[in-house]
Amino acid sequence: MSITEHDSAGGRLALSGRADLAVRAEALVKSFGDQRAVDGIDLAVRPGEIFGVLGPNGAGKTTTLRMLATLLKIDAGRAEIFGVDVAGNPHVIRQLVGVTGQYASVDENLTARENLWLFGRLQGVASARARRIATELLGRFGLEEAADKPIAQFSGGMRRRLDLAASLISKPPLIFLDEPTTGLDPRTRGQMWETIRDLVADGCTVLLTTQYLDEADQLADRIAVIDHGRKVAEGTPDQLKTTVGNSTLQLLLAEPGEVPAAVEVVRRVLRSDPVLSPEQGRLNVALDQADLAADVLIALRTAGVSISSVSVAKPSLDEVFLALTGHEAGDNETDAKENR
């Protein structure tokens, strides 16, 4: 994919660096006061992929995207979009990136059609063409019926779709989606996933943030897991799952007080530590082979630790997160701002 193919303004773009990556970020830092919201993040997003940035509330996801989109100053480190330096070429970057906010950024009093038309006009699209694009996008996002209603009457899911539609007006080659499905019901979430896959099938590259492990698993080709402004892991969903073993023995102890004894037994049998869940008495044991579960269970019985439920499963990204960060996704709400 070359940039000139997608450059809607029609001009050739001066490339300052290598354009083999859609996003290249090196050691990005952003501080707010003495808090480092983003604390040295590297990212490499390949053209044509869906790259997921996964992390709990306050991890630094939105801050990272905002820096890459030129909406926030980069304090340290550097970033390129298709080889174009972000800090040095904000106008070029804005042509290359479509940004969808975590908060729909449209005018409440205007209708959906008027909003899209306005967005087009603001991006320099001629009036008649903006009207045509608006109609096409309203159709594509299933908003025809609501097209002439003011946004104030829109549901959360309709707003998200309109917000995404607005970011597509200029046909950017790279789209940033900040928590595209937070707060949506399961059906609307599924529709949004389909829409995102369609974008990629059309040749777009997508960088999305999510706090939903299943979303990253479903959509992303590769995932960076971030926590407290740092990247704690990166890989394909399968690679991340493999970091916690091929399968997981999930145990719920009858007596939460016996957790230390159970941890001792697991260490003795497998020479590795189980992952403790914040839920009382629950622990997950990574297994290289599923049949090691029997060894653990026999040793637990011998040690007199009683179990109220047991299962062996392929590890979920939830467990990956717990294993990598020592806490569950969504577990550091205290230092996070409100999420709509």
Among 70, 95, 181, 211, binds ligand ATP (CB under 6 A): 211
Q: How many CA atoms lie within 13 A of 245 on its CB side?
A: 25
Q: What angle do CA 12, 13, 14 make, to 5 degrees?
A: 125
Residue 32 touching ligand ATP (CB under 6 A)? yes
173 contacts ligand ATP (rule: CB under 6 A)? no
Contacting range for ligand ATP; rule: CB under 6 A; set: 43-51, 53-61, 160-168, 246-254: 53-61
Max distance between CA atoms of the chain, in angstroms, equals 78
Q: Of the ranges 142-150, 158-166, 279-287, 331-339, which one interacts with ligand ATP (CB under 6 A)?
A: 331-339
Among the listed ranges 9-17, 253-261, 319-327, 329-337, the one in contact with ligand ATP (CB under 6 A) is 329-337
Instruction: Give the C-alpha distances (Å, rounded to integers) separating 72 from 29, 43, 45, 168, 250.
Output: 11, 17, 20, 21, 43
Our CB check for ligand ATP shows the closer of 83 and 156 to be: 156
Judged by CB under 6 A, which of 62, 70, 115, 170 binds ligand ATP?
A: 62
37 counts as binding ligand ATP under rule CB under 6 A: yes
Tell me the number of residues near ligand ATP by CB under 6 A: 16
Provide the minimum distance between the beta carbon of 51 and Mg ion in the complex, in angstroms, as a whole number: 16
Q: Which stretch binds ligand ATP (CB under 6 A): 232-240, 244-252, 278-286, 332-340?
A: 332-340
Return the SS3 of 28: strand
Residue-wise DSSP of 83-138:
TEETTT-HHHHHHHEEEE-SS--S-TTSBHHHHHHHHHHHTT--HHHHHHHHHHHH
**237 and 223 Cβ atoms separated by less than 8 Å:** yes
CB of 277 to ligand ATP, least distance (A): 21
Do β-strands 50-54 and 205-210 pair in parallel, antiparallel, or remain unpaired?
parallel
Chain residues in the site for ligand ATP (CB under 6 A): 32, 37, 55, 57-63, 102, 211, 335-337, 339
